[in-house]
Chains A and B, each alone.
Chain A
Amino acid sequence: MAGVRLPLESFPLQALVSEPVKPAFPCVVMSNTIHAYISQSDKGELVIGAGTDQFVSYSQAGGIHITNHTIDAICELFPHFRRMRMLRNWGGIVDTTPDRSPILSKTPVQGLYVNCGWGTGGFKATPGSGHVFAHTIAKDEPHPINAPFTIDRFRTGRLIDEAAAAAVAH
């Protein structure tokens, strides 16, 4: 509508939740190598993060082999979870950039700012990104922390590959 073209593509990212059990898992476990991501909620459910489909989709579902891949990894690491039943799973649509880092930036349209492209990450960065985005809007200039996260980086070639910082090869 504003005529600003963004380098974004949307993919379904899946998560699933198990039946609740007594406290059995007092930490978050994340394996970059075999792609397991698991924690236990206060209600006792295991909260499991799976991967994205390989194609652009707005289906809000995602392929079953994507969740199978994650569950296989979890069962390999923690055999005592093998007989647990899953309560529900879903796919949320995530917008990803070519370098898998977000865009927090001014746009060519005066007074229009974008905070997008968080892809499969984001929750843990929400407070910090909100702070620097508010700074960007208030001053019409980016905060030093989000200054590199422009749309223009795809023209200059100064991409931000933070896969290592996020501990996930996404």
Chain B
Amino acid sequence: MLLVYCPYCQVERAETEFACRGEAHIARPADPSQATAEDWVEFLYMRDNTKGVAAERWRHIHGCGRFFNAVRDTVSDNFLKFYKAGEPKPDLEAIAKEAGK
């Protein structure tokens, strides 16, 4: 059971209060009418599946209901950072280095 911190409620709660929504910072094609089938495959299905430090989306589904992002080491499951939706993707390499990963 992970402990997840909601940056909106500013509280740490049990994982069962949250839903993980997969890899973060995947941009929808800016002009859908111009997007190719390959663009949609990349957007909908292709994921980095990182073994190590990665950014992912979480939703405080049984709390405030809002989406936010987290950086987690997928080997140890330790969270390294929580930040609000819309904030830029952090420097994952720097975070990993700082955490000694």
Answer yes or no: B12 CB below 8 A from chain A CBs: no
Which residues of A are found within 8 Å of B77, using beta-carbon distances? 57, 59, 61
CB-based nearest A residue for B37: A155
B13 in the interface (beta carbon within 8 A): no
Q: Is the CB of B37 within 8 A of A7?
A: no
A55→B72 contact, CB < 8 A: yes
Residues of B within 8 A of A98 (CB): 44-45
Q: What sequence of 0s and 1s flags, for each residue 129-164 of chain A, a beta carbon within 8 Å of any chain B beta carbon?
A: 000000000000000000000000011100000000
Partner of A9 from the list B16, B47, B76 (CB cut-off 8 Å) is B47
- Whether A63 sits at the interface, judged by CB under 8 Å, is yes
- B9 proximal to A (CB < 8 A): no
Identify which of residues 25-83 in chain A touch chain B, using a CB-to-CB cut-off of 8 Å: 54-59, 61, 63-65
> Contacts A10-B49, A154-B44, A155-B38 hold; do A63 and B75 have CB atoms under 8 A apart?
no
Fill in one digit per residue for B26-59: 1 if any A CB lies within 8 Å of its CB, else 0. Answer: 0000000000011011001111011100101000
B1 at the interface (CB under 8 A from A): yes
Chain A residues with CB below 8 A from B38, complex form: 155
Decide yes or no whether A124 CB sits under 8 A from chain B: no
- Residue pair B2, A8 in contact (C-beta under 8 Å): no
A57 to B50, CA, bound (A): 9
The reply to whether A57 and B37 contact each other, CB–CB distance below 8 Å, is: no
**A51 CB, min distance to chain B CBs, angstroms:** 13
Q: List B contacts of A7 (CB < 8 A).
A: 41, 45-47
Q: How far is the CB of B54 from chain A (nearest CB, A)?
A: 7
A5-B74 in contact given A55-B20, A58-B51 (Cβ < 8 Å) = no
Chain B: minimal CB distance from A166 (Å): 20
Q: How far is the CA of A65 from the CA of B22 in the complex (A)?
A: 20
Q: Give 3 closest A-B pairs by Cβ, nearest first.
A: A7-B45, A55-B20, A54-B20
